[in-house]
Amino acid sequence: MTLKIAILKETAPDEKRVAMIPSVAQRIAKLGATLVLEQGGGAAATYTDAAYIQAGVTTEVDQQKLLGDADIVLGVQPPSRDTIKKMKLGSLLVSFIYAKTQPDLVKALCESKITTFAMELIPRISRAQAMDALSSQAALAGYYAPLLGCVHMQKILPMMTTAVGSLRAARVLVMGLGVAGLQALATAHRLGAVCEGYDVRPETKEEAESVGARFVDTGVDARGTGGYARELTTEEKTKVRAVLSQHIAQADLIITTAAVPGKHAPRLIDADQLAAMKEGSVVVDMGAPNGGNCEGTKAGEIIKVGPVILVGPTNLPSCLAAQASELYAKNIYNLLEQVVHNGVLKPDFTDDVIKGTTLTHDGAITNDIIKQFIENVPAEKVS
Distance CA 59, CA 210 (A): 46
Same domain, 12 and 79: yes
Q: What is the mean pLDDT of each run of 10 residues along the chain (383 residues)?
A: 93 96 98 97 98 98 97 98 96 96 94 97 95 97 98 97 97 96 98 96 93 94 66 85 96 93 85 97 96 96 98 97 98 97 95 97 95 75 43
Same domain, 173 and 309: yes
Cβ atoms of 29 and 329 closer than 8 Å: no
* pLDDT at residue 66 in the model: 98
Distance CA 272, CA 283 (A): 14
- CATH code for the domain in which residue 86 is found: 3.40.50.720
Distance CA 91, CA 113 (A): 8
- Which structural domain range is residue 275 located in? 138-314
The answer as to whether 381 is a domain residue is no
Last residue of a domain, one of 279, 295, 314: 314
Same domain, 289 and 360: no
* pLDDT at residue 2 in the model: 85
- In the chain, % helix, strand, coil (3-state, to 5) comes to 40, 20, 40
Residue 315 CA neighbour count, 13 Å, CB half: 13
- How far apart, in Å, are the Cα atoms of 73 and each of 89, 93, 164, 249? 12, 5, 61, 48
Cβ atoms of 264 and 238 closer than 8 Å: no
Same domain, 310 and 362: no
- How far apart, in Å, are the Cα atoms of 144 and each of 12, 180, 187, 324, 325? 20, 9, 8, 11, 15
pTM score of the predicted model: 0.94
The answer as to whether 128 is a domain residue is no
Same domain, 105 and 80: yes
Distance CA 81, CA 361 (A): 17
Residue 95: CB atoms within 10 Å: 23
- The residues annotated with a catalytic role in the active site are 124, 129, 132, 135, 228
* pLDDT at residue 262 in the model: 67
Return the exposure string of 188-206: e unless at least 16 CB atoms fall within 10 Å of the residue's CB, then b. bbebebbbbbbbbbeebbe
Same domain, 222 and 304: yes
